[in-house]
């Protein structure tokens, strides 16, 4: 059997940076450190952080003065940050720099008098925080159907994207908005790694009999990857860890492709690879990393 692994699989820069910052904070300030919400959307990674001393707390009102609190990679709204500071905590901000750019762009859009719009998932933590940077004025759309239902803009509308939104969906929506009115001003704030990750994964998918997408259902970029790959390769499976691998997923497959979301730990990818080797033993398994670049 041959296993093709998309080169851009596993932690992205923003996630790795956030994890490194938390571990540095633990070393410098000691245990415990608290994250406001899960640092990343991966249960095993969050559980491992808890064992290391970084505990997840979901409500601002539960923090006490002097505690060390981490703003996660998805960022928070200005109001949430103000409330955290009022609690008297020591703040460590691990917001992804690319998310920061979206936040600042929304502030500029709103202050310039444009109407703010976000293409993304309204219930995603990143988008919730970004709405705050528009003063709560941003309209959020997540599909072409929602874009088609919008009234014609009354003035210039500044459009940004959730960094991990599905690139294919984003461009379909943007193309429609551009055709509908010249008043839409598009600011492409998609994470470039998200695009490269999907390009690599689609290449691997085209070359494979079946696909395994590794990551959490709570991860926006993982689900975006799974949806897009699944449309191209109907024999695609989402695995939330190596324990989810079953013999049926490999039955009759000569070439299996693997891709993973940006919040998927390296050890989960390694675990799936080891699981494939064990399932196909004594047959040799060749592992090849492929990139569209």
Instruction: Assign 150 to helix, strand or coil.
Output: coil
126 is catalytic: yes
List 81, 126, 240, 268, catalytic entry: 126
Q: Per the omega criterion (within 30 degrees of 0), is the bond before 282 cis?
A: yes
Among candidates 157, 167, 156, which has minimal Cα distance to 189? 167
Cis ω for the linkage preceding 32 (within 30 of 0)? yes
Q: Where are the alpha helices (DSSP H) in the chain?
A: 13-29, 43-52, 78-86, 97-111, 125-132, 144-148, 167-180, 192-206, 220-232, 247-250, 266-280
| 243: exposed, middle or buried (Cβ count in 10 Å: 0-12, 13-18, 19+) | exposed
Provide the token pair at 183: 């008043």
Alpha carbons 79 and 205: distance in angstroms, whole number: 43
Cα-based torsion angle of the residue sequence 11, 37, 92, 84 in order, rounded to the nearest 10 degrees: 160
- DSSP-assigned beta bridge partners for residue 139: 117
CA distance 36 to 73: 10
The catalytic residue positions are 126
């Amino acid at each position: 059997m041959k296993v093709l692994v998309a080169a851009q699989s596993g932690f992205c820069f923003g996630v790795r940076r956030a994890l490194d910052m938390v571990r540095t904070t633990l070393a410098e300030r000691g245990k415990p450190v608290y994250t406001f919400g899960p640092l990343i959307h991966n249960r095993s990674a969050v559980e491992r952080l808890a064992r290391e001393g970084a505990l997840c707390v979901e409500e601002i009102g539960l923090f006490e003065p002097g505690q060390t609190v981490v703003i996660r990679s998805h960022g928070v709204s200005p109001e949430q940050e103000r409330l955290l500071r009022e609690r008297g905590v020591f703040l460590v901000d691990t917001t992804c720099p690319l998310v920061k750019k979206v936040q600042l762009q929304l502030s500029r859009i709103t202050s310039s008098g444009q109407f703010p719009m976000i293409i993304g998932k309204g219930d995603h933590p990143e988008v919730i925080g970004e709405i705050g940077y528009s003063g709560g004025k941003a309209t959020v759309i997540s599909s072409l159907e929602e874009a088609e239902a919008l009234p014609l803009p009354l003035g210039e509308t500044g459009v940004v994207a959730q960094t991990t939104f599905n690139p294919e969906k984003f461009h379909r929506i943007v193309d429609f908005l551009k055709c509908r009115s010249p008043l839409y001003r598009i600011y492409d704030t998609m994470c470039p790694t998200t695009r490269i990750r999907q390009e690599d994964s689609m290449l691997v998918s085209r070359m494979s009999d079946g696909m395994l997408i590794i990551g959490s259902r709570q991860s926006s970029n993982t689900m975006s990857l799974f949806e897009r790959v699944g449309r191209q390769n109907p024999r695609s499976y989402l695995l939330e860890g190596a324990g989810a691998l079953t013999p049926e997923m490999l039955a009759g497959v000569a070439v299996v492709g693997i891709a993973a979301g940006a919040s998927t730990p390296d050890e989960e990818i390694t675990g799936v690879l080891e699981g494939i080797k064990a399932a196909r033993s004594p047959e040799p398994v060749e592992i090849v990393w492929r990139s569209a670049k």
